[in-house]
Structure formats: structure tokens, C-alpha cells
């Protein structure tokens, strides 16, 4: 037992402050490595969230563009319908004029001015 105690004391006596500093540095490095790994994982998750948000924004932009196109198409259809209605009213006014209906009465029914009807 005395030999073991002496051996331990010999081994302990050989451990220096520099050795303890190295142990502390290793523990700090281990902690720092773990913290860096956690930070890396957090950064990767944040990057994924940012990419998902970017995709959602792009999808929303595409939906908005599609809606804009639909609105433009609807506007064009409405304009075409308005022009067709105008043409029908003009044709009706011309037919009424050709049938001998008074111009003032045609103006009242169609909403055109007397000048427009006289030019038909």
C-alpha cells in the first residue's frame, strides 16, 4: 500500500499547473465546439425558414400576377361587351331611323344625341 501511495504521490507530483491549464483549455474547447455545433444547427434551421419564406413570397407573387392577369382579361372582356352593346344600340338606332321613327324618340330610347342619330 505504501508503494501505491508513493507511486500516486509521484504521479501527482509530476502534474504541473501547465497540465491543469491544458485540461481547462480542452474543456473550454469542448464546450465551445458544442456551442458552435448548436449555433450551426440554429443557423441551418433559420436558413431553412428563410428559404421557406422566400418560396411563400414567390408563390404569393405568382398568385398576385395571375390575379392581375385575370383582372386584365376581365377588364378586356367587359370593354368588348361594352363595345358590342354600343354597336347593337347604334344598329337599333339606325334601324329605327330607317323605319321612319322620329329622331327625338330614337334619342330618348337609345340615349344617343340627336347629332349622332342624324349621322347614321
Q: What is the pLDDT of residues 34-73, one digit of tens each?
A: 888 899 999 999 999 999 999 999 999 999 999 999 999 9
User: Which residue shows C-alpha cell 349621322?
Assistant: 119
What torsion do the CA atoms of 116, 94, 105, 101 make, to the nearest 10 degrees?
140
- Domain residues of the chain, as ranges? 17-119
Of 102, 103, 105, which is closest to residue 115 (Cα–Cα)? Answer: 103
State the pTM of this model: 0.51
- Buried-state track 36-46, b at ≥16 Cβ within 10 A, e below 16: eeeeeeeeeee
| pLDDT reported for residue 10 | 52
Distance of CA 44 to the CA centre of its chain: 21
pLDDT band at residue 7 under the 50/70/90 scheme: very low
Amino acid at each position: 500500500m505504501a508503494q501505491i501511495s508513493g507511486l500516486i504521490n509521484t504521479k501527482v507530483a509530476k502534474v504541473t499547473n501547465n497540465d491543469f491549464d491544458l485540461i481547462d483549455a480542452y474543456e473550454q474547447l469542448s464546450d465551445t465546439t458544442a456551442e458552435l455545433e448548436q449555433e450551426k444547427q440554429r443557423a441551418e434551421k433559420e436558413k431553412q425558414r428563410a428559404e421557406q419564406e422566400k418560396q411563400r413570397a414567390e408563390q404569393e407573387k405568382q398568385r398576385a400576377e395571375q390575379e392581375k392577369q385575370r383582372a386584365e382579361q376581365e377588364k378586356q372582356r367587359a370593354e368588348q361587351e361594352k363595345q358590342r352593346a354600343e354597336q347593337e344600340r347604334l344598329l337599333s338606332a339606325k334601324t329605327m331611323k330607317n323605319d321612319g321613327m322620329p329622331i327625338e324618340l330614337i334619342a330618348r330610347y337609345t340615349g344617343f344625341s340627336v347629332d349622332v342619330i342624324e349621322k347614321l
